[in-house]
Amino acid sequence: MAEAIIKQIEIYKSPIRLKETFVTSLGPLDFAENVIVIIKTNNGITGFGECSPFMSINGESMDTCYVVAQYLAKSLIGKNALDIEQCSLLMDKTIFANTSIKSAFDIALYDIASQQAGLPLYRFLSGTNNKKIITDYTVSIGKATKMANDAQKIIDNGFQFIKVKLGESKEKDIERIQLMRAKIGMDTPIRIDANQGWSVNDAIEILKELGQYNIQHCEEPIARWNYMEMKKVKEQSPIPIMADESCLDHNDAKRLIDLGACDMFNIKLGKSSGIFKAKKIIALANAAGMKLQLGGFLESRLAFTAAAHLALTSDNIIHFDFDTPLMFVEDPVIGGISFDNKGMITVPETNGLGATVDENYLSKQTKQMIN
């Protein structure tokens, strides 16, 4: 195997304010509190990675990621960046879980490996740029009338798919979709995400009621720990069920497939520890004939560029939830994916990830360097 020895790793806190408060059943958010990892090798290649920790989902924060990143960096200095499997195993040996910060390192390693190979990341992953990647745009939880108006604004702005955050109560959630459909009509597909907010019985009742409203799928209707009951929900729901918080990595995916618990998976690099394990989820889903969504947390275009490259590796990846970079008040990313006014995404054809971060922006952030 060729070598690209890791000689230096830079870790940055990257908090960016959102244009407006983003609310889910798990609580409100005003900032994307992210971490950027930059890995430099002895042969002059630099890889960029990013994560967006989410305390109530992966148990990490920007501050914990910043600290854990230093442990991971010290373990990786002197290692071959091109041996991604060994680097992944080493990170897992260094510390359990912490999937978000591991994903930032993973993305940077894949950036290095695909640059070394002289290929865009999707081609390095044996993908083909042969599909349309169209992101949805999300309506966060609020009063039903405001959510309906927000949905109309999304359509007016040209987006073709709407994602709606639910999970508060049966009556309120049903009213939200009813008012939304009354406002925007039935044509624009809606995807709903309860973020674990419903009981089993409420989930079944709500999904049965919402079945008439052209809902494409429902993400994580019940608590993640209650995954043994998800099959019951799936079997009674007229709306396909997508596992999100209950499916972090390939081990979770296999368990859910064996249980027949869901129709689809939502893959997020911040849950899977990055591309290396996400590929294993995709392989399992392909074997099971399951469709997939690629999503994320509150990453910038940097990490979503990695997700977009990965999206080009399987025909079963058909849904895309890449909208959060559009919610930022500033965009520090150079290169990377671009969005048109209908949510269509263009993936860069340059070697590697094809995305870096503005040096002026980085110079203003809290930084730690490991040599």
- Active-site positions read 165, 193, 219, 244, 268
SS3 (DSSP) at 171: helix
| Under 8 Å between Cβ of 25 and 167 | yes
Numbers of helices and strands, H then E, in the chain:
14, 17
Return d(Cα 313, Cα 101) in angstroms, integer.
23
| Under 8 Å between Cβ of 39 and 105 | yes
Backbone angles phi, psi at 317, to 5 degrees: -85, 105
Q: First CA to last CA across the chain, in angstroms?
A: 23
| Under 8 Å between Cβ of 80 and 50 | no
User: What is the 3-class SS of 281-304, one letter each residue?
Assistant: HHHHHHHHCCEEEECCCCCCHHHH
Residue type at 112 in one-letter notation: I
Backbone angles phi, psi at 59, to 5 degrees: 70, 25
